[in-house]
Amino acid sequence: LQVDFQNRSEESSLESEGSRLLFEESRMRSPGPMASWESELTSIQHALKFVLKLKDEFVCPICRGVVLNPQQNSCGHIYCFHCLQGLLESSSPSSPVCPVDGAVITPAEVFQDNCCKREISSLEVFCTNSPACASVVALNHLQEHLRSCQYELMQCTNPGCRTVLERRYLQEHLSNTCPHRMEPCTHCRQLHRLSLMQDHVQSSCPDVEVDCPNSCSQTVPRHKLTEHRVSCPEVQIDCSYRRFGCSVQDKRGKVKLHEDAAVNHHMLLVMRSNTNLEQQVCLLKEEALLRQQEVQTDSLVLNGLQKKIRPLLQQSSSHEHIVSTAQRTLSRQEDVLSTVQLDLQQVSRGLGSGLEELEQLRQSLNAVIQEVSAAEALKEHLETLEENLKRQSGLLELHTAQLNHNKQHLQELEATSYDGKLIWKIQDFKKRREAEASGQAPCLTSVPFHMGRCGYKMSIKTYLNGDGDGRGTHLSLYVVLLPGDFDALLPWPFRQTVSLSLLDQSGAGNHRSLSFRPDPASKSFQQPAADAVSNVAVGFSSFIPLNTLETPQNAVYIKDDTLFVKVKVDMTGLDQL
C-alpha cells in the first residue's frame, strides 16, 4: 500500500494577502503565466476529446478538466495555474487547502511541473469539430490546427451580418450570398451594402432617372432636379407684372401666354403705379418744406442758448480763484504736518531705553533656545542607543536560534542508528493527539536513522489522528527518504523491504507489524534532490484502528501515555561502503 505523504503547514492562520505574496515569489522562481496555446484552450478545456483515456493524474482536482500549465503542491497533486490563482484569491482570510486530501497549500512550496507539462502538451486529441473533421493533433498544436480547420465555425466579417458557418463556406458567402456584402450601384457605380441598395436607388442615388415632381412628363437625373425646375413648363410662377398689381399665378407656359395677351391691362397697371409715385413725390416735397422751417426755428433757439452760456463762463473764472485759495491753505497744512513729524521723532528717542530692555529679552530667549537644542541632541543620542540595543537584541535572537539548532542536531546525533533499525519513543501521546486534532502539529517526525555509516538516510512520520483514507479512524505510519551525505555513492532507486511496528508494552510480544517493498517506478524511492527537504513519504494511512490502539484485546500499545514505534529495513544484499 502506497500513500503520498501530505506536507501540511503549521501556520494555517496566514492571511490570504501573505499567501498571494508568497505565490508571487514562487512565480519568480518558475514561469507562472500560461503559454499562449494553454491560455487559448481555457475556454474549450472541458470539450477536449483525447485519443487515449486521460490519466487521473492529468485531471485538475479544482475544475475537473485537463491540467493547463500544471502547478504542483507539496502534497503531490497538480492544478491548473488559473484554477490555483482563483483558489488563493477566494480563500480569504484562511489558507487554501487541496480539494483532494485537505492538505494546506503553501504558495512558497508550489512550483511549475515542467515534466508533467511536456507530457500533457504531447497528448493527442481529436479536433473539436469531429466527426466532421478527422484530424488528430498534439494538444499544444490544437489551436494552430483550429485556425485553419475548414470545419471551424466562423462568423461573417461583413458589418451587420450575424451568419455563422463553416470556414470552407465562408469565402463563397462573403463573395456571392451575403446580403450585407458591398456591391457597386448600377447607376452611380459607388459601393453600397447590398441590403441597403434598394433604399439607395430609391432615395439618394444621384444618377437615377426620376420623374419631374411637377408632372411635366420628363425624366432627369436626381442631381439635376434643381436645374430642371428653372425651365420646367409645369412649375407655378407669378406674372412678371405682379409688382404693379397683377395677381395672375399659373404654370410657366400659361403665364407667358397671359403676358402676351394682357399688354393693355398691364400698361394701365404701370400708369396707375406711376400716378401713385407722382403723388408720393408731391407729399415728400411738402414734408421737406416743413422740415426746413423747423431748422430755422432751431437756429433761433441755439442763438438764445449761446447768450445764456456767457455769464456761466464768467462764474467759472471765479470758481478757479476759489480753488487757488484752497491750494494755498493745503500748503499751510503740510507745514503743520512737518512739525508734527519732528515731535514724533523726539518721542521715538524717548523710547530708546525700552528697546534696550527688548534686546535683553531677546538674549534670554536665545539662551533658552540653546538649552532646547542641547536637549534635542541628547534625545538623538538616546535614539541611537535604542537602535544599538535593538541590533544587539537581534543578534542575541540569532545566537539563541543557532544554539537551539545545535542542541537539536546533538540530540539527533545521540539518537542516530546505523543498523537500519530505529525504535521511536512518543511521549505525551494524549496531548500530542489533541494538538494534532486542533491543527497545531499536523504530524510528528522522528530523528533520522541510517542503513550503515555511509548508507541511506530515513525517518518515520506519523499522524496520530490518521491521514488520507484513515483520517479520524486510524493511526497512520510512513517512512521518508532524506537527502544524505553519501547519496551519490548509493544504488538508486531504493529497493530494500521496510517493516513498521507498534510495540506491545505488556511483555507478551504481540507487536503489530506491516511491511512493504518499494516500487522502483515511484518518485518516492528515487535519489532525493540535494536542495529538497525530503522525498514524498510512503507507508500506511490505515496502520491500526484508533479504538484497537487504545483498547487492544491481547496487547498494550499505550502505557504511561507513551507509544513505541519501530522501523526495520531489510539490509540483505546491501553492500556497505
Of 84, 59, 58, 57, the residue nearest 71 (C-alpha): 84
Cβ-based neighbour number of residue 71 at 10 Å = 28
Give the whole-angstrom CA distance, residue 149 versus residue 39. 19
Q: Is the pLDDT of residue 34 over 60?
A: no
Query: Could you write out the DSSP letters of every residue in 145-157?
Result: HHTT-TTSEEE--
Query: Where are any strands of DSSP class E within 519-561?
Result: 538-545, 558-559
Cβ atoms 156, 180 nearer than 8 A: yes
Number of domains composing the chain = 2
Give the whole-angstrom CA distance, residue 105 versus residue 126. 34
Give the whole-angstrom CA distance, residue 229 versus residue 444. 105
Mean pLDDT over 216-244 rounds to 80
Residue predicted with more confidence, 332 or 28: 332
Residue predicted with more confidence, 454 or 5: 454
Binned at pLDDT 50, 70 and 90, residue 211 comes out as confident
pLDDT digits (tens, 9 = 90+) for 443-455: 899 999 999 989 9
Beta-carbon contacts of 501 under 8 Å, excluding residues fewer than 6 positions away, are 511, 512, 513, 514, 565, 566, 567, 568
Q: Is residue 508 part of a domain?
A: yes
pLDDT of residue 164: 92
pLDDT of residue 11: 38
Sequence letter at residue 272: R
Give the whole-angstrom CA distance, residue 10 versus residue 363. 67
Q: Is residue 458 part of a domain?
A: yes
- Structural domain including 79 reads 16-146
Q: Is the pLDDT of residue 89 over 50?
A: yes
Cβ atoms 553, 508 nearer than 8 A: no
Residue predicted with more confidence, 99 or 515: 515
Q: Is residue 399 part of a domain?
A: no
Mean pLDDT over 443-471 rounds to 93
Between the alpha carbon of residue 189 and those of residues 131, 174, 185, 207, 209, the distances in Å are 46, 20, 5, 9, 15
Cβ atoms 510, 548 nearer than 8 A: no
pLDDT digits (tens, 9 = 90+) for 231-260: 787 777 888 888 888 888 877 777 788 878
The CATH number for 92's domain is: 3.30.40.10
Q: Is residue 54 part of a domain?
A: yes
Greatest mean pLDDT among 269-278, 303-312, 492-501:
492-501
In the three-class reduction of DSSP (H, G, I as helix; E, B as strand; rest coil), residue 32 is classed as: coil
Q: Is residue 233 part of a domain?
A: no
Instruction: Please report, rounded to a whole number, the percentage of residues in the chain having pLDDT higher than 70.
Output: 90
Give the whole-angstrom CA distance, residue 172 versus residue 241. 68
Q: Is residue 362 part of a domain?
A: no
Binned at pLDDT 50, 70 and 90, residue 459 comes out as very high
Cβ atoms 181, 165 nearer than 8 A: no
pLDDT digits (tens, 9 = 90+) for 393-408: 888 888 777 786 676 6
Sequence letter at residue 7: N
Binned at pLDDT 50, 70 and 90, residue 31 comes out as very low
Mean pLDDT over 347-359 rounds to 68
Cβ-based neighbour number of residue 318 at 10 Å = 8
pTM of the model: 0.34
Point out the domain boundary residue: 131, 146, 161: 146
Point out the domain boundary residue: 146, 175, 209: 146
Q: Is residue 51 part of a domain?
A: yes
Q: Is residue 88 part of a domain?
A: yes
pLDDT of residue 4: 38
Binned at pLDDT 50, 70 and 90, residue 35 comes out as low
Q: Which residues pair with 152 in a beta bridge?
A: none
Residue predicted with more confidence, 310 or 509: 509
Cβ atoms 123, 105 nearer than 8 A: no
Q: What is the bridge-based pairing of β-strands 164-166 and 153-155?
A: antiparallel
Binned at pLDDT 50, 70 and 90, residue 523 comes out as very high
Mean pLDDT over 426-450 rounds to 90
Cβ atoms 445, 460 nearer than 8 A: yes
Q: What is the mean pLDDT of the chain?
A: 83
Point out the domain boundary residue: 146, 164, 182: 146
In the three-class reduction of DSSP (H, G, I as helix; E, B as strand; rest coil), residue 479 is classed as: strand
Residue predicted with more confidence, 322 or 521: 521
pLDDT of residue 392: 84
Give the whole-angstrom CA distance, residue 6 versus residue 549. 22
Cell of 465: 489522528
Bond into 93 cis (ω within 30): yes
The CATH number for 424's domain is: 2.60.210.10
Give the whole-angstrom CA distance, residue 477 versus residue 459. 11
Beta-carbon contacts of 187 under 8 Å, excluding residues fewer than 6 positions away, are 201, 205, 207, 208
Sequence letter at residue 187: H
Residue predicted with more confidence, 507 or 575: 507
Cell match 444618377: residue? Answer: 207
Give the whole-angstrom CA distance, residue 66 versus residue 120. 8
pLDDT of residue 220: 81
